[in-house]
Structures are given as structure tokens and as C-alpha cells.
Structure 1
């Protein structure tokens, strides 16, 4: 099972002034670890971020000229918050909610640094691979 990486999310949010919360989720929108949110909020944000990332990947595949459609970053800005979404590893999405005063460049850098530092720990295997492995162990 996945290690508890909440401490990494806590460190990320603390490092960037204006950041409020962070969720590490699987590409299909399942919250794995979170910081700064209640459980139900984390699950809702994970589902939203997974959908946003999926949409961005489809745009990249269709219009970006890359068959993988890798998502570097998606930004959703509202009057009261900014949502940063990135896919640091295959099968993994990182979402950070921040206030409008956040330094976007700093937060983007720190999110990228987190993904670069720990790609193996952040990777989420595809659910089909897990099911196949479990069936093979019977």
C-alpha cells in the first residue's frame, strides 16, 4: 500500500505562503494523501482535480502533438482561490489550493520539485495491473 506522504504535502503548503491545502491522488481521482482539508473535502477536490487532469491530458493528446498528452500544469483561477493541478508521475496527480495572493511561480516550482524528487514514491500503478497481480497470486 502507499506510504503516508501527508508530511510532504504539509511541507509543500508551509513552504509557499498563500497555499492552503494539497491533495495527492491517483489519476482516476481517488485521494491518497491530503493536508489542510477535511476527509470529504479532500475526496471532492481529488475527484475534481482528476477530472481536470484527464481533460488537460485529452487536450494535449488531441491538440498538443504528443501521443502521451502529459500534463505539466493546469491552473483554475476564481475570485477567491487558485487551483494548481499537475501530474508529477505516471498515474498520479498533485493538486494544491491557494489564495489569490500566492506566488504562482514559486508554487509551480515547488510542486515540480516535489515531483522530481520522489517520482517512484508518487507513482500509482494502474488498477488493472494491481488486479492482474492479485489474480496471479491466487
Structure 2
């Protein structure tokens, strides 16, 4: 009985990620994940790579949250950016308990990428939230 609502709330959102990667020049892949690191949807990543990226993005998001709590009076994380020599990794909040991660080449316009990520999240926020896990048998 308790499984039906969960199934109804599970929606394939990979098409949204595909659209985001196609709209933003030099974007390579995108990932929707739970804030504890589980893949919800992916574009441009093999399964193992998506799992690894989800773990990395979750860790970055958690570090950002800790910085907000410790140094910014509890401010929420809006975005974490990692700039590498040849690429960028953006991680943003995507609803309660969810994050959006996008990997792009260093040529990508960070402003455009951040804007497109924010617009995607804003337009579909209710579908992106991840319900809290319940103990088994609850």
C-alpha cells in the first residue's frame, strides 16, 4: 500500500537534463541526485560514472552546507562551483533533498550555465524534491 504513492511520484526527468545540456554550449553531462548521493536521473554519463559523480556532488553540497552553518549564520547553499584546468562542475540545490550537478568544459559561460540550472530547478521544483527516507518497516 505504501509503495504506490512512491511509484506515482517517481518521474523520469532525464529529458530535462538532456535539454539543459543541449541548451548550454560546452555542457557535457548533467545529473539529478538526492542530497545523500543517490542518482535520480542522468544525461551523458555511464552508470558507474553517474554514481561516482553523485557521490562527489553530494560531498561538495554537504561541505557547502557546513560552511553556511559555521560561517554564514545557517545560510542555505545555492551553488557550489569547482573550476578545474579544463572543466567546470556546478552543483546546486534542486528542491528539498535534491541537487543538480552539471559538468562542462572550461569554455562554458558560467553565468549562462548557472542561469539555466536555476530556471530548470524553478520550473520543475515539485518533481525534484526527494522525500526523507523512512526506516524499513515504518
CA distance in 2, matches of 1:34, 1:42: 7
- Consecutive unaligned residues of structure 1, counting only runs of 5 or more, are none
- Consecutive unaligned residues of structure 2, counting only runs of 5 or more, are 1-6
CA RMSD of aligned residues (A): 1.2
Residue 20 of structure 1 is aligned with which of 23, 28, 45? 28
Counterpart residue number, 1:47: 55
Q: In the alignment, does 2:105 pair up with 1:104?
A: no
Q: What TM-score does the superposition give when structure 2 sets the normalisation length?
A: 0.90
After TM superposition, which residue ranges in structure 1, 4 or more long, deviate above 4 angstroms? none
CA distance in 2, matches of 1:70, 1:125: 18
Q: What TM-score does the superposition give when structure 1 sets the normalisation length?
A: 0.90
Counterpart residue number, 2:121: 115
* Structure 1 position 88, deviation (Å): 2.0
Q: In the alignment, does 2:96 pair up with 1:82?
A: no
